[in-house]
Amino acid sequence: MTVATLKDVLGSAIAGNYAVAGFVVLGWEDAKAFVDAAEVAGLPVILQAGPGCRKHTPVEILGKMFRHLAEQATIPVVCHIDHARTVAECQIGIESGFTSVMIDGSMLALDANIELVSKVVEMSRPHGISVEGEVGIVGYADGHASLATSPEEAAAFERETGVDALAIAIGNTHLQTEKIAEIDFAALRAIEKVTRVPLVLHGGSGIPVAMRRTLAQQSRVKKFNIGTEVRMAFGKALRQVIVDQPAQFDRIALLSATSPDVQLVAGEIICALGPTKSVG
Protein backbone atom coordinates (compact mmCIF):
# COMPACT_ATOMS: atom_id res chain seq x y z
CA MET A 1 0.00 0.00 0.00
CA THR A 2 1.61 3.26 -1.10
CA VAL A 3 -1.05 5.89 -0.54
CA ALA A 4 0.87 9.11 0.11
CA THR A 5 0.22 12.73 0.98
CA LEU A 6 1.47 15.76 -0.89
CA LYS A 7 3.73 16.54 2.06
CA ASP A 8 5.28 13.07 1.80
CA VAL A 9 6.25 13.23 -1.87
CA LEU A 10 7.21 16.90 -2.03
CA GLY A 11 9.44 16.58 1.02
CA SER A 12 11.33 13.79 -0.74
CA ALA A 13 11.47 15.87 -3.92
CA ILE A 14 13.13 18.74 -2.07
CA ALA A 15 15.69 16.38 -0.57
CA GLY A 16 16.40 14.80 -3.96
CA ASN A 17 16.35 17.95 -6.13
CA TYR A 18 13.54 16.81 -8.39
CA ALA A 19 9.83 17.50 -8.89
CA VAL A 20 6.63 15.45 -9.10
CA ALA A 21 3.99 15.49 -11.83
CA GLY A 22 0.41 16.16 -10.82
CA PHE A 23 -1.74 14.75 -13.62
CA VAL A 24 -5.30 15.91 -14.25
CA VAL A 25 -7.47 12.78 -14.29
CA LEU A 26 -10.68 12.51 -16.30
CA GLY A 27 -11.39 8.79 -16.04
CA TRP A 28 -10.18 5.30 -15.24
CA GLU A 29 -8.07 4.83 -18.37
CA ASP A 30 -5.90 7.90 -17.93
CA ALA A 31 -5.59 7.47 -14.15
CA LYS A 32 -4.30 3.93 -14.61
CA ALA A 33 -1.97 5.05 -17.42
CA PHE A 34 -0.45 7.68 -15.11
CA VAL A 35 0.16 5.18 -12.31
CA ASP A 36 1.55 2.61 -14.76
CA ALA A 37 3.94 5.24 -16.13
CA ALA A 38 5.09 6.13 -12.61
CA GLU A 39 5.60 2.43 -11.83
CA VAL A 40 7.88 2.02 -14.85
CA ALA A 41 9.82 5.14 -13.87
CA GLY A 42 9.97 4.13 -10.21
CA LEU A 43 8.87 7.63 -9.18
CA PRO A 44 5.89 9.09 -7.30
CA VAL A 45 2.85 10.55 -9.00
CA ILE A 46 -0.06 12.79 -8.02
CA LEU A 47 -3.54 11.91 -9.32
CA GLN A 48 -5.68 15.05 -9.45
CA ALA A 49 -9.46 15.28 -9.53
CA GLY A 50 -10.24 18.75 -10.81
CA PRO A 51 -13.63 20.49 -11.16
CA GLY A 52 -14.38 18.94 -14.56
CA CYS A 53 -13.59 15.45 -13.33
CA ARG A 54 -15.68 15.93 -10.18
CA LYS A 55 -18.60 17.26 -12.21
CA HIS A 56 -18.52 14.17 -14.44
CA THR A 57 -17.96 11.53 -11.73
CA PRO A 58 -19.03 11.65 -8.06
CA VAL A 59 -16.19 12.44 -5.66
CA GLU A 60 -17.05 9.35 -3.62
CA ILE A 61 -16.37 7.16 -6.67
CA LEU A 62 -13.19 9.03 -7.57
CA GLY A 63 -11.87 8.59 -4.05
CA LYS A 64 -12.33 4.83 -4.19
CA MET A 65 -10.77 4.66 -7.67
CA PHE A 66 -7.74 6.73 -6.74
CA ARG A 67 -7.21 4.81 -3.50
CA HIS A 68 -7.50 1.47 -5.30
CA LEU A 69 -4.81 2.48 -7.78
CA ALA A 70 -2.60 3.80 -4.98
CA GLU A 71 -2.99 0.68 -2.87
CA GLN A 72 -2.01 -1.57 -5.77
CA ALA A 73 1.06 0.51 -6.68
CA THR A 74 4.63 0.06 -5.50
CA ILE A 75 5.42 3.78 -5.82
CA PRO A 76 3.87 6.63 -3.78
CA VAL A 77 0.56 7.85 -5.20
CA VAL A 78 -1.09 11.03 -3.92
CA CYS A 79 -4.89 11.23 -4.19
CA HIS A 80 -5.50 14.95 -4.68
CA ILE A 81 -8.53 17.22 -5.00
CA ASP A 82 -7.61 20.10 -7.33
CA HIS A 83 -9.14 23.59 -7.45
CA ALA A 84 -11.76 23.13 -4.75
CA ARG A 85 -13.48 26.45 -4.07
CA THR A 86 -15.23 25.72 -0.79
CA VAL A 87 -14.58 24.08 2.56
CA ALA A 88 -17.45 21.69 1.81
CA GLU A 89 -15.76 20.43 -1.36
CA CYS A 90 -12.61 19.68 0.61
CA GLN A 91 -14.60 17.99 3.38
CA ILE A 92 -16.28 15.65 0.89
CA GLY A 93 -12.88 14.88 -0.64
CA ILE A 94 -11.40 14.00 2.74
CA GLU A 95 -14.37 11.82 3.63
CA SER A 96 -14.02 10.07 0.27
CA GLY A 97 -10.42 9.00 0.83
CA PHE A 98 -8.36 11.77 -0.74
CA THR A 99 -5.02 12.44 0.93
CA SER A 100 -4.51 15.97 -0.32
CA VAL A 101 -6.66 18.97 -1.22
CA MET A 102 -6.03 22.19 -3.12
CA ILE A 103 -8.33 24.94 -1.89
CA ASP A 104 -8.31 27.76 -4.44
CA GLY A 105 -9.12 31.17 -2.99
CA SER A 106 -6.89 32.98 -5.46
CA MET A 107 -9.77 35.04 -6.87
CA LEU A 108 -10.48 36.44 -3.40
CA ALA A 109 -8.80 39.32 -1.61
CA LEU A 110 -5.73 38.15 0.32
CA ASP A 111 -7.42 38.31 3.75
CA ALA A 112 -10.40 36.29 2.50
CA ASN A 113 -8.09 33.79 0.79
CA ILE A 114 -6.13 33.34 4.03
CA GLU A 115 -9.35 32.90 6.03
CA LEU A 116 -10.71 30.27 3.61
CA VAL A 117 -7.48 28.28 3.39
CA SER A 118 -6.90 28.44 7.15
CA LYS A 119 -10.27 26.77 7.71
CA VAL A 120 -9.32 23.94 5.37
CA VAL A 121 -5.90 23.51 7.00
CA GLU A 122 -7.52 23.37 10.45
CA MET A 123 -10.04 20.80 9.21
CA SER A 124 -7.41 18.69 7.43
CA ARG A 125 -4.69 18.46 10.07
CA PRO A 126 -6.42 15.89 12.34
CA HIS A 127 -6.75 13.57 9.34
CA GLY A 128 -3.14 13.96 8.16
CA ILE A 129 -4.32 15.53 4.91
CA SER A 130 -2.01 17.87 2.97
CA VAL A 131 -3.27 21.26 1.82
CA GLU A 132 -2.21 23.32 -1.20
CA GLY A 133 -3.20 26.96 -1.63
CA GLU A 134 -2.65 29.62 -4.29
CA VAL A 135 -1.54 33.25 -4.16
CA GLY A 136 -1.72 35.36 -7.28
CA ILE A 137 -3.86 34.15 -10.16
CA VAL A 138 -2.82 31.57 -12.75
CA GLY A 139 -4.94 32.57 -15.73
CA TYR A 140 -6.20 30.59 -18.69
CA ALA A 141 -5.15 30.70 -22.33
CA ASP A 142 -7.87 32.71 -24.11
CA GLY A 143 -9.55 33.19 -20.76
CA HIS A 144 -9.12 34.91 -17.39
CA ALA A 145 -5.84 36.84 -17.19
CA SER A 146 -3.08 35.99 -14.74
CA LEU A 147 -2.01 38.12 -11.79
CA ALA A 148 1.62 37.66 -10.75
CA THR A 149 2.25 36.46 -7.22
CA SER A 150 3.51 39.09 -4.82
CA PRO A 151 6.38 37.83 -2.62
CA GLU A 152 5.00 39.79 0.33
CA GLU A 153 1.55 38.24 -0.07
CA ALA A 154 3.07 34.78 -0.52
CA ALA A 155 5.02 35.16 2.73
CA ALA A 156 1.97 36.34 4.67
CA PHE A 157 -0.20 33.58 3.17
CA GLU A 158 2.25 30.82 4.10
CA ARG A 159 2.79 32.19 7.59
CA GLU A 160 -0.88 32.65 8.43
CA THR A 161 -2.36 29.52 6.83
CA GLY A 162 0.26 26.81 7.44
CA VAL A 163 -0.22 25.29 3.98
CA ASP A 164 1.97 22.39 2.87
CA ALA A 165 2.42 23.66 -0.72
CA LEU A 166 1.97 27.01 -2.42
CA ALA A 167 0.85 27.51 -6.02
CA ILE A 168 2.21 30.68 -7.60
CA ALA A 169 1.85 32.69 -10.80
CA ILE A 170 5.17 33.59 -12.43
CA GLY A 171 4.36 33.33 -16.14
CA ASN A 172 2.60 29.95 -16.13
CA THR A 173 -0.88 29.73 -17.70
CA HIS A 174 -3.59 27.04 -17.70
CA LEU A 175 -4.64 25.23 -20.91
CA GLN A 176 -1.72 26.22 -23.13
CA THR A 177 -1.42 23.85 -26.09
CA GLU A 178 2.08 25.08 -26.98
CA LYS A 179 5.11 25.29 -24.71
CA ILE A 180 5.50 29.06 -24.84
CA ALA A 181 5.36 30.11 -21.18
CA GLU A 182 8.07 32.54 -20.13
CA ILE A 183 8.86 31.94 -16.48
CA ASP A 184 9.98 34.96 -14.45
CA PHE A 185 12.96 33.53 -12.59
CA ALA A 186 13.61 36.78 -10.74
CA ALA A 187 10.07 36.69 -9.35
CA LEU A 188 10.54 33.04 -8.40
CA ARG A 189 13.75 33.78 -6.49
CA ALA A 190 12.05 36.65 -4.66
CA ILE A 191 9.24 34.32 -3.58
CA GLU A 192 11.71 31.61 -2.55
CA LYS A 193 13.53 34.06 -0.29
CA VAL A 194 10.47 34.75 1.84
CA THR A 195 8.77 31.31 1.86
CA ARG A 196 9.79 27.81 2.91
CA VAL A 197 7.18 25.36 1.60
CA PRO A 198 7.36 23.54 -1.75
CA LEU A 199 6.07 25.64 -4.65
CA VAL A 200 3.64 24.54 -7.34
CA LEU A 201 3.22 25.60 -10.96
CA HIS A 202 -0.22 25.07 -12.47
CA GLY A 203 -0.33 25.18 -16.25
CA GLY A 204 2.74 22.98 -16.51
CA SER A 205 1.89 21.84 -20.04
CA GLY A 206 2.77 25.29 -21.39
CA ILE A 207 6.25 25.32 -19.84
CA PRO A 208 9.08 24.09 -22.11
CA VAL A 209 10.44 20.70 -21.05
CA ALA A 210 14.00 21.97 -20.53
CA MET A 211 12.69 24.78 -18.35
CA ARG A 212 10.62 22.36 -16.29
CA ARG A 213 13.74 20.28 -15.80
CA THR A 214 15.78 23.30 -14.70
CA LEU A 215 13.09 24.41 -12.28
CA ALA A 216 12.80 20.90 -10.84
CA GLN A 217 16.53 20.68 -10.18
CA GLN A 218 17.37 24.26 -9.27
CA SER A 219 14.37 25.72 -7.49
CA ARG A 220 11.77 24.95 -4.85
CA VAL A 221 9.13 24.29 -7.51
CA LYS A 222 8.40 20.65 -6.70
CA LYS A 223 4.98 20.04 -8.27
CA PHE A 224 3.95 20.66 -11.85
CA ASN A 225 0.28 20.33 -12.78
CA ILE A 226 -0.06 18.66 -16.18
CA GLY A 227 -3.38 18.30 -17.98
CA THR A 228 -3.46 19.68 -21.52
CA GLU A 229 -0.34 17.81 -22.62
CA VAL A 230 -1.71 14.38 -21.76
CA ARG A 231 -5.20 15.21 -23.01
CA MET A 232 -3.70 16.13 -26.37
CA ALA A 233 -1.93 12.76 -26.45
CA PHE A 234 -5.22 11.05 -25.65
CA GLY A 235 -7.10 12.94 -28.37
CA LYS A 236 -4.48 12.18 -31.00
CA ALA A 237 -4.45 8.49 -30.08
CA LEU A 238 -8.25 8.25 -30.08
CA ARG A 239 -8.53 9.84 -33.53
CA GLN A 240 -5.97 7.37 -34.85
CA VAL A 241 -7.81 4.40 -33.37
CA ILE A 242 -11.02 5.51 -35.04
CA VAL A 243 -9.22 5.77 -38.38
CA ASP A 244 -7.46 2.43 -37.96
CA GLN A 245 -10.54 0.60 -36.64
CA PRO A 246 -13.56 2.19 -38.37
CA ALA A 247 -15.81 -0.74 -37.48
CA GLN A 248 -14.98 -0.58 -33.76
CA PHE A 249 -17.79 0.80 -31.59
CA ASP A 250 -17.02 -0.63 -28.17
CA ARG A 251 -16.22 2.12 -25.69
CA ILE A 252 -13.80 0.02 -23.65
CA ALA A 253 -11.88 -1.09 -26.72
CA LEU A 254 -11.63 2.46 -28.07
CA LEU A 255 -10.50 4.06 -24.82
CA SER A 256 -8.16 1.24 -23.85
CA ALA A 257 -6.36 1.61 -27.17
CA THR A 258 -5.32 5.13 -26.18
CA SER A 259 -3.62 4.04 -22.95
CA PRO A 260 -0.18 3.13 -24.38
CA ASP A 261 0.23 6.59 -25.92
CA VAL A 262 -0.96 8.38 -22.79
CA GLN A 263 1.32 6.25 -20.64
CA LEU A 264 4.29 6.98 -22.92
CA VAL A 265 3.79 10.75 -22.73
CA ALA A 266 3.16 10.63 -18.98
CA GLY A 267 6.33 8.59 -18.48
CA GLU A 268 8.39 11.13 -20.40
CA ILE A 269 6.99 13.92 -18.24
CA ILE A 270 7.63 12.04 -14.98
CA CYS A 271 11.21 11.14 -15.92
CA ALA A 272 12.07 14.65 -17.13
CA LEU A 273 11.07 16.01 -13.73
CA GLY A 274 12.70 13.17 -11.81
CA PRO A 275 16.10 12.96 -10.12
CA THR A 276 19.28 12.87 -12.16
CA LYS A 277 20.46 9.31 -12.49
CA SER A 278 24.09 8.61 -11.69
CA VAL A 279 26.28 7.18 -14.44
CA GLY A 280 28.52 4.17 -13.95
- The catalytic site residues sit at 82
Q: Letter for the amino acid at 152? A: E
Residue type, 222: K
DSSP character string of 257-271: TTHHHHHHHHHHHHH
Spatial separation of the C-alpha atoms in residues 280 and 265, rounded to whole Å: 27
Question: Which own/partner contact pairs does 90-97 have at CB distance under 8 Å and 24+ positions apart?
Answer: 90/120, 90/123, 90/124, 91/123, 92/59, 92/60, 93/49, 93/59, 93/63, 94/123, 94/124, 94/127, 94/129, 96/59, 96/60, 96/62, 96/63, 96/64, 97/63, 97/64, 97/66, 97/67
